[in-house]
Amino acid sequence: MRSWTISIMTMLLIVALSGIATATTQPEHVFGFGIPAFGTLHYDEAKQLTDVSGFNLALGFSTRHFTANGGLQPGRFNSYTGSGTLLLIIPYIEIGTCYPVLVGGGDQYLVIDFGLLYYFIPRIGISLYY
């Protein structure tokens, strides 16, 4: 079990570092200890961050949709809804709020989020959107 954990964390670190080297003016990837743990950020036509999708640490796939009209906005609490799978086949739903802080010269976000899995199991996460 320990070797699997080390292998997964090493892969996550490689993915994060490869994305940081090619950073753009808008974040494109997520890495951290939230849901999802690593994945892709999605923007609407107005270039507002509206969705995040990717893989989570519970060996599943996750999506998150920010419910505000302007998408994810730094320096304020943003509500979201989410869904996905745990252990590849167990479905889950989630609601929550997150607080993004601009870092890295303003082109990256450090996001702290508080959610409720299945609407009653509390969860805290921290991620870097880069």
Put simply, whether the predicted model's pTM sits higher than 0.85 gets the answer no
Say whether pLDDT at 11 is over 60.
no
| pLDDT value for 1 | 56
CB 125 within 8 A of CB 112: yes
13, 17, 85, 81: CA torsion to nearest 10: 130
CB 108 within 8 A of CB 24: no
Token digits of residue 59: 């060996």
Say whether pLDDT at 6 is over 70.
no
pLDDT digits (tens, 9 = 90+) for 26-79: 899 999 998 899 999 999 999 999 999 999 999 999 999 999 999 999 999 999
Calculate the CA 57 to chain-centre distance: 11
Average pLDDT over residues 112-129: 95
CB 82 within 8 A of CB 71: no
